[in-house]
Every structure is written in structure tokens, then in C-alpha cells.
């Protein structure tokens, strides 16, 4: 799935000469945490987050300060003085997997989506990615997640699919993931049924080892595939 299919296209932006209160009001009104900073022709020059704004606001209630003096000082702070200029961006033709890895590796909460000449066309956030993966994996529909161990050297994914299909059970999705045993893969079919006891017995009779998905710990996975 491409970024352009999952990104937020109706972007709330802000100008570099706006003050921090305008940014704060926009974030609160639109329930967002990131504001791309643009110049004419929607050219992206930076991004400001709610964390950036919190970083310049006084610690504690303004009542402890000379309110008018502090308000005037804060109003003089322009977005260009607190925005992040060294940006991580992504193209609309990248995939949601690309965005997920970039967000994870760079520890950011959102990525501006840009075309040629740094023209802003969208933004994709962790929330957008979660929505996309929920849609891809079909987990909005009621179902049950199974875990099955599969030897890497004897990959029999088709036989699992056939076994489930023979029981007239539909798939929401199927995920093949690494396992802490480098010679094994963990297969997680999401089945659109609550009654999985018969298919579990069938798979065990076929020689498969079932895995409780709750026992699949990410921190035990090998660093390399």
C-alpha cells in the first residue's frame, strides 16, 4: 500500500512568522500534534510539534508569572525560532512499510509527504499507519488470531491455507514473522471465526506446533533475519 493511499491529504499548516499561540490553538482545534511549516506554493521548510511548544512555555501555570509581560514575551516567539528544520520526509510513492521503518528508526511521530521541490502534499502519522494496518490485516471484523510454528527449510504455508479453507473459514489476513529460533518462522493467520477449536486440532494432527500469540515476544527476536 502506497503512502498516498494512507496519508492525511487535508493538511493543517502554519507560516513561519506565526506565533506559538496560533500554533497551539490550531493543534487543539484540529486535535493534531504536528504542524508543517510552509512558504508560498506549499513548499515545506519545517515542522513544529506540541513538544516544541511545550518546551518554550513556562513551567507551571502562568498565574505564577507577570501574566501580561510573559504573554507579550511568548507572543514574540515566532514559529521559525522553534521549528525543526532538518526534516525526515517521505514520498507519496513510498509504501506504508517504508514509513513505519522510518518513524521507528528516526523516533518521530509523523512524516511530511512531499513531491518534487519539497512541495507538501500530505502528512502521515503513527495514527494513520495504525489505521492502514488495521485495514490491511482485516482485524476490524470479529475473529481469532492463531499462531503456528513453521520450519524454515520446509515451508508449507500453502498446506495451512488449504487446511483452513477446507473448513470454510475465511482469512482476515495472514502474517509470516521471524521467530527466535532462526530455523523457524511464526505464522499468524487471523481467521474470521470465533470457533477455532476444530481447525487447531486439525493442524496439530497435520504435525504443526501451535503457538500462543501472547507468547511471541518481540524482544526475543534475532537482530537479523
Mean pLDDT, range 5-10, rounded to an integer: 91
- Give the span between the Cα atoms of 111 and 124, in whole angstroms: 5
Q: Is the pLDDT of residue 66 over 60?
A: no
Closest-CA residue to 112 (of 96, 92, 132, 133): 92
pLDDT per residue over 178-216, tens digit each?
777 778 888 999 999 999 999 999 999 999 999 888 877
What is the pTM (predicted TM-score) of this model?
0.71
pLDDT per residue over 146-169, tens digit each?
999 888 666 678 999 999 999 999
Quick one: pLDDT at residue 121? 96
Q: What percent of the chain has pLDDT over 70?
A: 88
Q: Is the pLDDT of residue 122 over 90?
A: yes
User: Which three cell numbers, joined as nine digits, stand for 176?
Assistant: 509470516
Domains and CATH numbers, the chain: 3-135 (3.10.580.10), 140-220 (3.30.70.260)
Q: Is the pLDDT of residue 60 over 70?
A: no
Amino acid at each position: 500500500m502506497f503512502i498516498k493511499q494512507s496519508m492525511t491529504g487535508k493538511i493543517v499548516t502554519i507560516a513561519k512568522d506565526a506565533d506559538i499561540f496560533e500554533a497551539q490553538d490550531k493543534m487543539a482545534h484540529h486535535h493534531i500534534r504536528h504542524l508543517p511549516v510552509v512558504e508560498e506554493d506549499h513548499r515545506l521548510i519545517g515542522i513544529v510539534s506540541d513538544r516544541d511548544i511545550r518546551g518554550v512555555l513556562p513551567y507551571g501555570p502562568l498565574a505564577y508569572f507577570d501574566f501580561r509581560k510573559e504573554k507579550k514575551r511568548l507572543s514574540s516567539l515566532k514559529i521559525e525560532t522553534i521549528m525543526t528544520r532538518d526534516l525526515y520526509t517521505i514520498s507519496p510513492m513510498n509504501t506504508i512499510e517504508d514509513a513505519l521503518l522510518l518513524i521507528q528508526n528516526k523516533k518521530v511521530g509523523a512524516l511530511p509527504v512531499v513531491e518534487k521541490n519539497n512541495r507538501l502534499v500530505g502528512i502521515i502519522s503513527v495514527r494513520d499507519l495504525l489505521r492502514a494496518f488495521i485495514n490491511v490485516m482485516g482485524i476490524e471484523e470479529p475473529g481469532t488470531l492463531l499462531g503456528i510454528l513453521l520450519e524454515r527449510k520446509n515451508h508449507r504455508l500453502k498446506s495451512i491455507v488449504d487446511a483452513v479453507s477446507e473448513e470454510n473459514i475465511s482469512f482476515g489476513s495472514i502474517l509470516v514473522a521471524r521467530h527466535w529460533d532462526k530455523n523457524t518462522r511464526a505464522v499468524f493467520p487471523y481467521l474470521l471465526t470465533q470457533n477455532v477449536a476444530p481447525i487447531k486440532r486439525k493442524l496439530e494432527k497435520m504435525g504443526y506446533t501451535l503457538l500462543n500469540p501472547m507468547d511471541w515476544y518481540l524482544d526475543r527476536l534475532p537482530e537479523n533475519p
